[in-house]
Amino acid sequence: MRSDLDLKARQTLKSAKLYCTAGRVAVLKALFKADKPLTQEEITGQLGQNHFDKVTIYRTLESLLKVGVVHQAFVKNRARHFELSHNCSETQCHPHFTCTSCGKTHCLTDMRMPKAQGRHRGFIIHRQQTRFEGLCPACA
């Protein structure tokens, strides 16, 4: 039984001209299912029985980064967080919200921040990301 998500993952790999392997499909599926940026550890956790070495996970993420299917979000300083780029424009990612009480991070995919595109004192801005801190609905 090959699920919808499975096909989506395979499709994605194919159009990115990446070898379609079990590990990559699994990682992509985890990212499709997630509603927030994930670390390698969280991805491994999602996979459960369907285990892949952390090196493989990192290398997969690296490949997906290179072709632009995923990107990194700045959630915590000590760990890389990855998410699909499909909710973001070329020049701007949706904002991320981190709760100072429970520590959880949420994607505010429905929120648009004004773009500071162009240049500023010689700096050519290609991409912008916004991060919020505060209280999430559950903690407020």
Q: What are the residues binding DNA (CB under 7 A)?
A: 13, 18-24, 39-41, 51-56, 58-60, 62-63, 77-80
Of residues 6 and 39, the one with the C-beta less far from its own copies: 39
Token pair 């096909």 is found at 7
Locate 37 and state its tokens: 């940026």
Closest Cα partner for 108 from 68, 71, 73, 67?
73
Q: Which stretch binds its own copies (CB under 8 A): 25-33, 47-55, 57-65, 115-123?
A: 115-123
Residues 6+ apart with CB under 8 A from 8: 28, 32
Of residues 29 and 94, the one with the C-beta less far from its own copies: 94
From candidates 8, 18, 80, 85, binder to its own copies by CB under 8 A: 80
Residues 6+ apart with CB under 8 A from 102: 136, 138, 139
Q: Which residues of the chain form contacts with its own copies (CB under 8 A)?
A: 72, 74, 77-81, 95, 97, 100, 106, 108, 110-111, 113-114, 116, 120-137, 140
